[in-house]
Structure 1
Amino acid sequence: MKAPFMYHGQDHNWVIPSTTTLTVYLAVESGFLTEALYVRCEPDNEERLIPMERSQDAGRLTTWKATIPMNRDKATTVYCFKAITTEHQWWLHGAGISKRMPGQEKLFRYNSEYQPPEWVKHQVFYQIFPDRFANANPAISVTSNEYCLLGEEKPTVAKPWGTSVSEHGKDGASEFFGGDLKGIRDKLDYLQSLGVTTLYLNPIFAAPSNHKYDTTDYLNIDPHLGTNEEFAELVNDLHQRGMKIVLDAVFNHTSLDHPWFDRFHQQGDGQGAWQNPKSPFRDYYQFDGDSENYIGWNGIHTLPKLNFLNPEVRDYFYAGDDSVIRHWLKQPYCIDGWRFDVIHMLGEGEGATNNAHYVRAFRASAKAENPRCYVLGEHFFEATPWLQGDQEDGAMNYYGFAHPVRAFFAGLDIAFDPCRIEADEFAQWLMDAAAKIPWRNQLSQLNQLDSHDTMRFLTMVNGDEATLRCALIFLFCWAGVPCIYYGTEVALEGGHDPDNRRCFPWERLDSRQDMVDFIKQLTSLRNQSSALQSGRIQWLYAEEDVIAFARSLDNERVICAINRGLTPAALSIPIWQMGLEQGCFSLLIKKGEGIDASDGILNLTILAKSGEILVQA
């Protein structure tokens, strides 16, 4: 039996909080006859069914409303809708419609206590791997054989800008191209013209490798990137432009060269923990008694894992008034957020014991210094438990965005095994993932096609730029914050790490102005559209190779339609489900064109491997 049309948005028009209650709205097709219509909630961890009352009729839709109590025992209130007919019952929840009561993981959820910073959802992020973005001060660049990454092994290798990087598993971490903070600052005019509003930088603190996930000094910028003063000037310049910056925090482990560990006795003071059971820093790590055995992150011996049972470690990173977290949020730096590396793996002992305690503590420290600080976690897989409001504001959204996008557009899973899915499965995957977290956290997820840890998307789709453009359209229209990995705007390719960290080919700006302009078109729309930043999601079509969905807020409506297939697709989009019987829509991709809709239907043809964004005129 075909499911009836039932819809509940989660923006401020559909969910209205008071101090102790939520008023929620539901739209159904006017011809849908019910015996009863309820909101199901759990105010005391026990089911309560609240009858709904008719609110208004508009076109083919009838709107119902009800007021439910907010939970007093916890910050999150969950709810769903139950419709009873003469023969069936239908349940509407965050993952869609079903004939039976959904599990709690699918329920709509509202967090009354913990909210992400309001500014985050309005941003367009741009991720920079500092050594590969721009070299503006060659005098501070790493030189060949300047030092070794591992004692007397892996000497540094200075390479000319733009030459190829080593193969995967070789000398990638010891190769340097000279990108620096001045290079980033010199390109701010360009980045701002591209439509970027927030920079996310891979680690910039002192470390021997080019990726700098092996920190030796958390309170100083790596001298081959610049100085603390230069960084403060960069942040000030960004803020003067109305832009923001998020830094990468690697607090789970340190470098072997960190003075606390001093694996290669570079400090000369005999205080390092390595081979020194009497070291004042011995308990900063996790050694097996007096032996040389210690726990490394993920079993990697070059990244010794910190011991957060030690109060001095806690004070240094988050608990103290001058902790690392708070230091960079204060003057003169005033960064706007932290991206916490492998945050789900941090904890006590070899594993992640008491992980939630420490994530909450990191959050509390950051918010105490700056309540508007963005707390972003790195999770390569599902991050649902960390995204209920009291831990992270958002996550690098691999599970709820990058994984399904890769499967739908590239036919691959995260392990690069074949994984072709159809449009309806793609839509369901996205809805299943999003349903598990509160709406405002959905809007604060960091969505990326690729990153420094993945193959570049263009390479993933074998250089097919048409498919890349389709995926970019989806990136900028879906709920969450879009993040561009540097170089995407000039069609930069790259395989597995470290090939995905090639130098930015600045000479391509002129020859690839077509792609630059395409990105500018998307960022311009995103930066101007409240619907794309904050509006509810409504699926309108998802079959085989074609998807169409709407983002709506107040009187602004945007429709995104994408065809990944090899032949044109003719769509009849049911805009009556959006409360529209007719309307005129402007086509963003086909500039200057418009299309009229009537009788509640928008007829549209999407060419092969293309997408369109329609904005109601």
Structure 2
Amino acid sequence: MFNSRNPAYRNPTGAVPAKSPVHFRINVSRDLKCSAARLVVQDDNWGQTENFGMFWCGMDGENHEWWECHFTPKAPGLYFYRFYIDTWRGTLELKKGFGGEGSTEAHNGPWQLTVYDPSFDTPHWMTGGIMYQIFPDRFYNSGTPKANVPQDRKLHEHWGEQPDWKPDERGIITNSDYFGGDLKGIEEKLPYLESLGVTCIYLNPIFEAHSNHRYNTADYSKIDPLLGTEADFQHLCAAAKKRGMHVIVDGVFNHTGSDSIYFNREKRYPVEGAYNSQQSPYSSWYNFHPWPNQYDCWWNFDTLPDVNECAPSYNDYINGTHGIIRKWLALGADGWRLDVADELPDEFLENLRDAAKAEKPDAVILGEVWEDASNKEAYGQRRKYFQGHQLDSVMNYPFRNAILGFLTGADAANMMEIIMNIVENYPPQVLRLLMNHIGTHDTERAITVLAGEPMGNHGRDWQSSTHLSRERRQKGLRLMRLAALMQYTLPGVPCIYYGDEAGLEGYRDPFNRGCYPWGHENEGLVEWYRRLARLRKSCPCLNEGIIYPLMAGDHCMAYIRDDGEQRLLVAINAGEQDHCIYLPPEWHDAEALIGKLPDERSALFLPPLDCVVLKWSYPAPKEKPAQPAPGPKDLQ
């Protein structure tokens, strides 16, 4: 009766700019004797509901008829819609079902229409690229001597040892052990990243902080001394740019460290922090109940005091003309990844975006959001990330869940539905920049999820001693190939978490933050990532081409990317049995980039834990016959 993903029923599909008309059509059985139909739209901004009468517009064969109308959203925001039809059985409600289809039997409620500001644009330099996430302390140690490193840091003697995980004598996990990875080390490895096709490096926090993860910022204005200097950062950005790479940095603006120049609970700094004096210039940044020992902190960690982001002096310090956002962009960064974006107020996000775009118009702003960011609610408020004044895009955890779920036995159709819901709900300019990862510093390593023993409620002792057996690792490497293929061919930008391409394993923090295994990489997997980079570069349809599912079921999934000039078909068998997919005849003329072409019966053969990628190009338009040059008479 209706399908929100099919332009025959809703045109255009997906998110739309404000003041752009959307054409709706529903297909009603003649047996229902429909006398009237209407579209009902609720504006999420104001809570207002509008009714739009639909017009009878013709027959669809002998037994069905079309009803249609237009709706033009006036302003950016979310709109939720459904249909009602008056029939001999009474008034029936048409609601969203599986796959975007409409049915009077559906129970999922209304469809979502995402509407964005018509002027909303996102940087184009990321489109079609490849990201690489680096946890700086664990990537590569250049061996360069460092100055002004605090004495309370423990440096491991050997690269690749297991990170410390046991609490100290006070029962506290301090995260104060380091391996000495640094900015110069990253610069030394730029040729390696270039061989992987990397176009964007995302660095976990690099600013002064007194833990190895550096999410407890001590001074936003300085590079952590163990990583190097401000000059090292500038040199890294310049060297990356020469190789066609951009650098984005991590901004942790929801909280600082208690051991910081701003709070100074540990009295490390010779200044009066908010903890030391109520007359501190930073006093208004924090909320005390009462001062000094009771204060708001992130998830009740008293080492991470929450910041009042809307305090004028804090906002100016971060987003002002001479603020932190503009400083690091001016020194060479090309964007920011925002930690816990759902905990940053709208006003702060809008100010941050204004500051970034004023300093560097093509700077990218990526947010950490774990759910569907188009309809995310946080602290009782609907977020406005994609209306055009906050984020450019987000970390794509839903795709991660779909990829790893599919490859570990979850229903293929349900996993495809996760993917297609994101595609339907996100603006296209957001979709093409999605940070498509299968693991980060906050999650278990992908190969461990795919082939390891489930972690369940096991503690750190079990996690530290549990590793993949030889058999599990071999299966994990095969599944990593399939996961990476999906990363590289779904809408968005694939993001490699450093070491995933080398087969690095590990459960949760700190085991997912091990050292890159230089000299001990799985070369076969590394080469697979290089092959995928070549595939991505040779297939422009992966930049902004639409996606539509071909099939999803029986542990198999196939989808097509299409930009009107080229089609790419990706088929994956995550099961233990052979599988065949039957294709339209035109795929006989395709080129097999991975695997084999279909046989004479149009059957595409998929062995267990394997994949096929086919490329097909549209026929070139016929050129018109050349016209003879005009003669003197013609010119007269």
Q: TM-score, normalised by structure 1?
A: 0.80
Tell me, yes or no, if structure 1 residue 360 matches structure 2 residue 370. Answer: no
Residue 227 of structure 1 pairs with residue 225 of structure 2: no
Is contact 1:21–1:68 with CA below 8 Å preserved after alignment?
no
Note if contact 1:115-1:389 (Cα within 8 Å) is conserved in structure 2.
Answer: no
1:342–1:278: structure 2 CA closer, same or farther, 3 Å change rule?
same
Match of 2:612?
612
Superposed, which structure 2 residues align to 1:502-521 within 5 Å? 502-509=514-521, 512-521=522-531
Q: In the aligned structure 2, how far is the partner of 1:18 from the partner of 1:165?
A: 48
- Aligned in 2, Cα 1:507/1:49: closer, same or farther, shift over 3 Å? farther
Range that drifts further, 260-269 or 165-174: 165-174
Q: Among residues 362, 375, 396, which one is paired with 1:372 in the alignment?
A: 362
**Matching residue of 2:269:** 267
Structure 1 204/6 Cα, relative in aligned 2: closer, same or farther at 3 Å?
closer
Alignment of 1:205-604 (within 5 A): 205-269=207-271, 271-318=272-319, 320-330=320-330, 333-346=331-344, 355-384=345-374, 385=376, 386=383, 387-390=385-388, 391-398=390-397, 400-410=398-408, 421-460=410-449, 461-462=451-452, 463=473, 464-509=476-521, 512-573=522-583, 575=584, 583-590=588-595, 593-595=596-598, 602-604=602-604
**Bigger radius of gyration, 1 or 2?**
2
Give the AA of the match of 1:527: K
Q: Which of these residues, 67, 72, 75, is aligned with residue 73 of structure 1?
A: 75
The 3-state SS of whatever aligns with 1:298 is helix
User: Cα RMSD (Å) of the superposition?
Assistant: 3.8
For residue 405 of structure 1, report the CA deviation from its aligned partner.
2.4
- CA displacement, residues 501-554 of structure 1 (integer Å, 9 cap, x when unaligned): 111111025xx3211111011112223322112111111101120111111101
Q: 1:110 to 1:570 in 2, by over 3 A?
A: farther
CA contact (8 A) 1:110 1:439 kept: no
Q: How far apart, in 2, do the equivalents of 1:7 and 1:183 lie?
A: 50
Q: Offset of 1:559 from its aligned partner?
A: 0.9
In 2, distance between residues paired with 1:204 and 1:543? 44
State how far apart, in whole Å, the 2-side matches of 1:465 and 1:175 are.
Answer: 30
Distance 1:308 1:550, change over 3 A: same
Q: Where in structure 1 are there 5+ consecutive unaligned residues?
A: 29-33, 55-63, 149-154, 347-354, 411-419
Query: What pairs up with 1:83-94 in 2 under 5 angstroms?
Result: none
Name the structure 1 match of 2:146.
140
SS of the aligned residue for 1:548 comes to strand
CA–CA separation in structure 1 for the residues paired with 2:362 and 2:276: 43
Q: Report if aligned partners of 1:94, 1:108 keep a CA contact under 8 Å in 2.
A: no
| Mapped partners of 1:534, 1:25: distance in 2 | 25
Shift of 1:41: 8.9
Q: Is the 8 A contact 2:15 2:425 kept in 1?
A: no
Query: How far off its partner does 1:6 sit?
Result: 7.4
Please tell me whether the aligned partners of residues 14 and 423 of structure 2 are also in contact (alpha carbons under 8 angstroms).
no
Structure 2 residue runs without a partner (length 5+): 28-32, 59-65, 377-382, 453-472, 618-636
Distance 1:453 1:536 in 2: 30
Q: Which amino acid aligns with 1:115?
A: D
Q: Report the 3-state secondary structure (helix = DSSP H, G, I; strand = E; otherwise coil) of the residue aligned with 2:329.
A: coil
Offset of 1:81 from its aligned partner?
A: 10
1:113 aligns with 2:119: yes
1:340, 1:312 → 2: CA distance? 20
Q: Which moved more, 1:557-566 or 1:79-88?
A: 79-88
Matches within 5 A, 1:153-232: 155-167=153-165, 171=173, 173-232=175-234
C-alpha contact 1:249 1:341 (8 A) present in aligned 2:
yes
**Alignment partners' CA distance in 2, 1:83 and 1:562:** 41
SS in 2 for 1:139: coil
Of the three residues 99, 103, 114, the one matched with 2:103 is 99
Change (3 A) 1:167 1:403: same
Deviation, structure 1 residue 167: 3.1
| Higher RCO, 1 vs 2 (CA within 8 Å, ≥6 residues apart) | 1
Count of aligned pairs between the two proteins = 560
SS of the residue corresponding to residue 211 of structure 1 reads coil
1:129 partner letter: F
Deviation at 1:380, TM superposition (A): 3.0
What is the one-letter code of the residue matched to 1:173? N
Q: Could you tell me how far apart the structure 2 residues matched to 1:248 and 1:368 are?
A: 19
Alpha-carbon shift at residue 25 of structure 1 (Å):
11
CA distance in 2, matches of 1:615, 1:404: 24
How far 1:436 sits from its partner (Å)? 2.8
Give CA deviations for 1:93-127 in whole Å, capped at 9, x if unaligned: 99521224975553465652323222333221000
CA drift of 1:611 comes to 1.6
Query: Cα deviation per residue 1:309-349 (whole Å; 9 max; x = unaligned)?
Result: 4211111011x11111111122xx23211100112123xxx
Question: Which amino acid letter does the alignment assign opposite residue 594 of structure 2?
Answer: I
The alpha-carbon distance between structure 1 residues 3 and 445, as it changes in their structure 2 partners (threshold 3 A), is same
| Alpha-carbon shift at residue 51 of structure 1 (Å) | 7.1
Match of 1:61 in 2: none
Q: 1:175, 1:93 → 2: CA distance?
A: 51
Find the aligned partners of 2:402 and 2:114 in 1 and give their Cα distance: 21
TM-score normalised according to structure 2 size: 0.78
8 A Cα contact 2:134 2:204, kept in partner: yes
Corresponding residue for 1:152?
none
